[in-house]
Chains A and B, each alone.
Chain A
């Protein structure tokens, strides 16, 4: 029951919030706060009671459409619980960060909670139909969040986002159906390691690849991301980068690798190549940006490249690393978007040339932005390093061509370049005209960031804080891949 409550509690919150009179944003946000906080508490309860060696847990399975083998099937293992925690945490943070939202607040908070339903659902669904429903459900509130509360080009960005990801998920649907026809079930776990025919695997993998790769996004399917990120309101950017991108890589790890291990091995060199290109391409483009949000958006392309490289490696190091990058990128990019948003609220600009001297005028904001920047560029001791380094180890150990690993390693250097160049212009120096009068972060804003700072340190200093959850599951996947 616990997982069902975690998934659908925000739905109740969303409905409730939608029923509140339109001018009572204060009630809506209080509902959202309570709902997301309780949800996070429940997720923490699951985490506490979780047995790392216990495989799929908290399972719920009820027949749904029995004649087609569709069931309402939920469960968490070490990988999904990591993502579920991230989803619940960032949802709460998104609500607190949006506390001052004044445009259609009731609808806004309803959308945020509806979004959480989809995100939580994707990470606990163990039935393909259910998974697909949650997967698509996420698009709707995000579409409205960007399209209604977004920036000047919100209409273009929201439609592009919606269509592009829908385009991908249609292929995924084809893959799901093909798998059903082949195996006669929609049960994700039952399908892993079935030993499906190699050619069949290859084609189904292709379908899943398109569905997931758009979401990640992998070069060259990434152009929806900068537009969506830049136009989205802060909280939506946080959830978009923090959770929704991970749905794609989660799909690879949860579905594509265990169910289609032969194809995964065959596709690995291609994925590794795209991953390495994504890393340096995203980094180079981040370097060229003058809009802070766009810089962070392109850096996401680069970081998600590391996740894909880890997936392509098919090694324990690489897959653990991939999940660590997913988690770290969620919290670190969350911080970056939040602080950029906070700065924007004060300076009314995101253009790097117009902002300087944050650390002098607003030391808390500047310091936290610097902290997030160093976490993002992969400084050891902070969370970003864990996954990137493990990914490199795994990729080198695997059959991935060494050249791609070297390219990825150069990407780490480029990350330092674009990040620190931003730091130098925005945080350091003397305060610019836009910065000279602004106030530092409020207690609420600091409270939003502190949990993320703490997590960045905990994961960065004690890798097992995350690996103890992921490693047992990863070990199973690796043996499936090795046996294929």
Chain B
């Protein structure tokens, strides 16, 4: 099964081919990327079939590793590990990547730098696949950082504009805040377990609770950055400044899920800690709720989806925190499909409506049937309506919470589900119903619609695979618990109904002002993004800039001042000395002085008048050395 190695390599080669080309040549060679990723998809499907029916947790169907660093007796390797988890991820990543790349042929075809776009997308896919097949945490971390680079490059793709430029910087730095934690976590792991290998760290090594907690929380911190969990979520909404299909792949389906993947992989460490699980769950549920609330007040369609992603990722963290590996991982999978579908749909909508502001949209349903149907499937999946995929995975999470007796978190997760349904309805009715705002609405090209159709089909039916998914991962598969399923459906239905009540009844003009006035405090707080950005901007960015400026002054005035001061004192001393020199040993060195003068005249032409003194100092040092020999010899 060594062909598995080719899966991450193919897109990497595509990048290596495209990267060094000239812009013009690159623009013509985008098919290289598409072909590479499509081939990776085929290989991933083969791998998946070969792993089927799975069922052996922690057992590798294929494993290969080579050493790339040896330090003392420690060998650091780069490996390819194919097990149930990575087999699923391979398919998800290559499938969404292929869909996005095909879609982008239409979406980006007029862009002057489409070749570069595809090159970075390829590198990203390679890194994500490398992360997925990692057999150790170091490789995972390295791939993780490379994804961060690609995310940076794609967010800032249209860097001539200010917003993408700023957003890309913010994204890189915010995630890197988390990565500092991740890196220290790796150092603690290495110092404790002496290895990064999953086999050692997750299976053989017996973790003491205290160190397990330290490592788990540090890794979690990294995951929070990448997966945009509160309070490190602030970069993701801004990241929407990038091309929409890139958002679909990176900022919805794959990279942002890497944090979830990390926690899922490291779950044995979290379990050894205990408290780390609880913290994961709390952060997850807070994020799920806040993300949902913030999504509900956005007017930019992509920002709604961005906050929605934050919220859904929070759901996954909740599941993992409750020990529900299967539920969390399953939600990762279903979310990858329906959210990338929604983003691709949003791309079509934005192209058609020439705006991202939902208040300026409306009536798309009549003119854009394919988009409407696919987007609706994605919306229902997100809202958690039976039989669409989101229903099943969300239900599993709720079940895990209920059976784990986390009743408060269960209630909060239900509340988040309610909010989700509300903002889904708000978005849907705003965009698809009501009067048409522009007359030029027309359906997108076929290369954009086909990927959406595929993703929609998957999102519509994949839920029924729910019990088999659990079995594939080596757990007991179950059909949903009827009581919980009914509860969550009722909650989601209520949310959709409320959304319809406010935004869907086009018998009158949508008027949310009374609502906003009644809940002014809440609304203002939400529309200011709960003050996170303001706080960071004031307390971190501004203060750091001030500190850096103050340190620069300190360096110039104090540190360098001491140096220059010492120099001045030395020079004064030297002048006293030279007076002595002239009067005392004048005659003795007359001859030498002539030579020095002559040399000095030449050197002065080079504008370096005082060099003799320093050469003298060096000679003096050598003389000192000679003196010691004499002393020693005598």
Contacts and interface: CB of A to CB of B under 8 A. Distances in A.
Contact of A471 (B70, B184, B562): B70
A462 B149 CA distance: 19
B59 interface: no
A191 to B, nearest CB: 16
A470 to B, nearest CB: 9
Given A147-B607, A397-B191, A162 B142 contact: no
Interface stretch (A24-32, A93-101, A240-248, A406-414): A406-414
B172 interface: yes
A61 B172 CA distance: 53
Interface stretch (A115-123, A153-161, A199-207, A259-267): A153-161
Contacts of A162: 611, 614
A352 interface: no
Interface string B133-168: 000000001110110010010001001100001101
B187 A396 contact: yes
Contacts of A424: 156, 165-166, 168-169
B64 interface: no
B165 A467 contact: no
Interface in A26-76: 65, 67-68
B173 A380 contact: no
Given A147-B607, A285-B552, A393-B190, A413 B70 contact: no
A181 B549 CA distance: 48
Nearest to A360: B160
A77 interface: no
Nearest to A280: B551
B72 A166 contact: no
B69 interface: yes
B177 to A, nearest CB: 6
Contacts of A131: none
B628 A177 contact: yes
Contacts of B544: 284, 287, 417
A349 interface: no
B522 interface: no
Interface in B169-204: 169, 172-173, 176-177, 179-180, 183-184, 186-188, 190-191
Instruction: Give chain B's interface residue range (CB within 8 Å of chain A).
Output: 35 or more
A420 B71 contact: no
Given A287-B545, A288-B549, A416-B173, A462 B68 contact: yes
A309 interface: no
B202 to A, nearest CB: 19
B18 to A, nearest CB: 13
B173 A223 contact: no
Interface stretch (A2-10, A80-88, A334-342, A384-392): A384-392
B567 interface: yes
A288 to B, nearest CB: 4
Contact of B608 (A158, A163, A461): A158
A67 B567 contact: no
Given A164-B563, A380-B141, A467-B69, A412 B183 contact: yes
B67 A464 contact: yes
Contacts of A163: 567, 614, 617
Interface string A178-203: 00110000000000000000000000
A347 interface: no
Interface in A443-484: 461-464, 467-468, 471, 474-475, 478
Interface of B: 23, 67-72, 74, 76, 141-143, 145-146, 149, 152, 156, 159-160, 165-166, 168-169, 172-173, 176-177, 179-180, 183-184, 186-188, 190-191, 544-545, 547-549, 551-552, 555, 559-560, 562-563, 567, 606-608, 610-611, 614-615, 617-618, 621, 624-625, 628-629, 632-633
Interface of A: 65, 67-68, 129, 132, 136, 139-140, 143-144, 147-148, 154-155, 158-160, 162-164, 166, 169-170, 173, 176-177, 180-181, 219-220, 222-224, 281, 284-285, 287-289, 316-317, 320, 357, 359-360, 363, 374, 379-381, 385-386, 389-390, 392-393, 395-397, 405-406, 409-410, 412-413, 416-417, 420-421, 424, 428-430, 461-464, 467-468, 471, 474-475, 478
Given A409-B183, A461-B68, A464-B70, 11 more contacts: A132-B625, A136-B621, A143-B614, A166-B621, A170-B621, A223-B555, A359-B159, A397-B191, A420-B152, A424-B166, A429-B159
Ranked nearest first, the 9 interchain pairs of A and B with the lowest CB-CB distance are A380-B142, A463-B69, A396-B187, A428-B159, A288-B552, A223-B560, A288-B548, A316-B72, A287-B548
11 contacts: A139-B618, A143-B611, A281-B551, A285-B552, A379-B146, A393-B191, A405-B187, A406-B184, A409-B183, A410-B180, A463-B76
